[in-house]
Structure 1
């Protein structure tokens, strides 16, 4: 791969956006490579957690404007094809991945880079990171996914404020506004994400997948619909748990409680 690095350790797959000289900006090659890699990783039984990070001093500065708009100016069909690939890997292969996904954010996280972070289940940022929707600063607007997801995470008024002003957010502010999960000291970022990834890797993969599905759809349901939906998912989980991990975990918890009472 020309734009990505891949490593698998202890059921944790680490994907590194590897264009540090371009602040890991998303170009056509990266979109194609990410699509192919995630298709493989999502069906790999050895993978339980996916961590996405950026090489060098940035997570991802967004789209590579030159390669998308200047180099493809006279190739509209190719550009549309690449944009479709980008949409597919972010919102189907990553956002709907059966694995737990974690964004490890350092440095710049703008535009398309922010989309990658929002597509992950959990986003942890070092305190030197910078977030924003800068499109308005050059007479453009955030894309549809960015508009929808920032409203979903931050609420309408706050999302609109940052989209209209183009003002950047510090990690602490991004955490307060609901854009990321946590901000930590830059020096602790790697150890914090590693600890989290290892913790997630210890969980039952079918249970993690089910939790993701429940939380993805529950917000659009009534309380009665959510009750029925969760019960159906629990029934499915019981059928998929051929090794009895669910009962083993429950029995271990009950026995621990009995020993402490």
Structure 2
């Protein structure tokens, strides 16, 4: 598959996304290991997840895959600063071009990040604590077979205040999992759901205190892995076949076009223009000032990928 990112970021990916297999239990674990950034995912990190999913797919010892994150959060989403931070003019043009090509691969490529989890024949579990935002929400949590979350987790499309509505691929999965009414509420407000609230809406299957989360997720994984591999493969294939009846190609393509036009509307264009001039952190500050008067909750925004990046850079 095509590789995106700098030589340095590609080389660092194996240390930022860890992988281990317990061959006794049949449980593999993919760990996001970038705690200082709330595990914001760079492009090479997402590519490594695709590689690891392919490796697990052909490993007959692996029956279940757990996704987890080191540090204070599960994952704050994609690394926005990597693609939209301060750059010289020629770098901006290249970034935009690469961004569109990568977006197409990620959304529609058979081996793209968006497809790797949902197409896996192995059972997948998201172990969520802290923030689970943006791409972590709709490309990992919504696509995993089982979600185990801490009671106080903060889950949702928290980036919607400054990046606009979720893309078409994301919207399809959010609507399916939460239902259209709940998806609208969470999308319009951009406020996070707790683990308990997400359980009530059907996204989360089990909650636990954060101190007990790891053992709770492991217990679920081992219980599933006690089944024969062929039985699990059959059950997963049957579920995916039923989902496939509701084809998502047309709404995905149409939604991508709509989101493109929305992202060139004045408010969103102002955000990206500001981000290129003063960095993503400066753009977030400006957006916070613009919206703060209307909604006091905006004065303390959730540390999305870009906000986390900026906070780290300032420290």
**Alignment TM class, shorter chain as reference:** 0.7 to 0.9
1:219: Cα distance to partner?
A: 5.4
Tell me the equivalent position of 1:39.
54
Q: 1:37 to 1:145 in 2, by over 3 A?
A: same
Instruction: Find the partner of 1:80 among 97, 100, 112.
Output: 100
Deviations 1:39-67 (A, max 9, x none): 11111112111111011111110111101
Instruction: Find the partner of 2:122 among 99, 102, 107.
Output: 99
Stretch moving more, 144-153 or 211-220: 211-220
Q: 1:85 to 1:59 in 2, by over 3 A?
A: farther
Tell me the equivalent position of 1:55.
70
- TM-score scaled by structure 1? 0.79
Asked if 1:128 is matched to 2:152, the reply is yes
Give the secondary structure class of the aligned counterpart of 1:138: helix
Tell me the equivalent position of 2:162.
138
- TM-score scaled by structure 2? 0.66
Q: 1:84 to 1:55 in 2, by over 3 A?
A: farther
Q: Which runs of 5+ in 2 are unaligned?
A: 1-13, 247-315
Asked if 1:118 is matched to 2:135, the reply is no
Larger relative contact order (Cα-Cα within 8 Å, sequence gap ≥ 6): 2
Q: What do you get for the CA RMSD once the two structures are aligned?
A: 2.0
Q: Which runs of 5+ in 1 are unaligned?
A: 223-261
The total of aligned residue pairs comes to: 222
Preserved CA contact (<8 Å) 1:4 1:18: yes
Asked if 1:2 is matched to 2:20, the reply is no
Give the secondary structure class of the aligned counterpart of 1:73: helix
Preserved CA contact (<8 Å) 1:57 1:106: yes
1:136: Cα distance to partner?
A: 2.7
Q: 1:73 to 1:210 in 2, by over 3 A?
A: farther
Q: 1:180 to 1:56 in 2, by over 3 A?
A: same
Give the secondary structure class of the aligned counterpart of 1:24: coil
Give the secondary structure class of the aligned counterpart of 1:5: strand
Q: 1:114 to 1:143 in 2, by over 3 A?
A: same
1:216: Cα distance to partner?
A: 2.5
